[in-house]
């Protein structure tokens, strides 16, 4: 049974889909997630391996899996480039959660995990603590634009 609020956010369009259980949502409406019914017909959301496969298939099509509970928000994605993911995720987080809300970003494509607060993700100078120095070069212009649009 899921704990907290669940969402899928498209890294391609910014569409936000509230969900109760992510794998069930993919199985129920595969076309929304860029999949065909044949892609998911043999997968059962109740089976742990199938549940992971369903969610990963959606993430590989550009969807960000988000689960928010009282203590933190976890966003998982398997999509490149990272700035596509953050272009929609950061404004959504800033609009819906407080600045001190803890955020974990699980980047499956790069096998990295970033951790910080909403405030750190929104601030171009503080995001280095979250995503690291090498990614800062890639994110610099995007974060500046996002920061200006959030003011």
The pLDDT score that the predictor gives to residue 70 is 78
Q: For residue 38, which of 27, 50, 49 has the smallest C-alpha distance?
A: 27
Q: E strand or H helix at 49, and its extent?
A: helix 48-60
Of 76-80, 96-100, 129-133, 146-150, the one with minimum mean pLDDT is 129-133
The residue range of the domain holding 99 is 5-150
3-class SS of residue 74 = strand
3-class SS of residue 90 = helix
How many domains in the chain? Answer: 1
How many angstroms separate the CA atoms of 98 and 37, rounded?
A: 38
The pLDDT score that the predictor gives to residue 76 is 94
The pLDDT score that the predictor gives to residue 33 is 97
- pTM comes to 0.82
Going across the sheet that includes 112-117, the strands are 16-19, 5-10, 63-68, 72-77, 102-107, 112-117
The pLDDT score that the predictor gives to residue 133 is 47
On whether the CB atoms of residues 58 and 33 are closer than 8 A, the answer is yes
Q: For residue 93, which of 146, 32, 21, 22 has the smallest C-alpha distance?
A: 146
Backbone φ, ψ for residue 33 (5° rounding): -100, 15
With a CB cutoff of 8 Å and minimum separation 6, the contacts of 139 are 82, 83, 86, 124, 127, 131
- pLDDT tens for 57-105 read 999 999 999 999 878 999 999 976 777 888 888 889 989 998 899 999 8
Average pLDDT over residues 21-45: 95
On whether the CB atoms of residues 91 and 115 are closer than 8 A, the answer is no
The pLDDT score that the predictor gives to residue 75 is 94
């Amino acid at each position: 049974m899921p704990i907290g609020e669940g969402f899928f956010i498209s890294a391609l369009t910014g569409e936000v889909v509230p969900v109760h259980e992510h794998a069930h949502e993919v199985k129920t409406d595969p076309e929304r997630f860029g999949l065909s019914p044949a892609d998911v017909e043999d997968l059962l959301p109740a089976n742990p391996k199938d549940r992971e496969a369903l969610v990963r298939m959606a993430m590989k099509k550009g969807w960000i899996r988000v689960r928010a509970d009282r203590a933190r928000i976890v966003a998982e994605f398997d999509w490149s480039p990272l700035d596509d993911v953050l272009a929609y995720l950061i404004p959504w987080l800033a609009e819906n959660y407080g600045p001190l809300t803890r955020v974990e970003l699980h980047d499956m494509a790069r096998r990295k995990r970033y951790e910080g607060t909403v405030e750190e993700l929104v601030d171009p100078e503080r995001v280095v603590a979250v995503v690291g120095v090498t990614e800062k070069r890639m994110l610099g212009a995007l974060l500046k634009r996002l920061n200006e649009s959030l003011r």
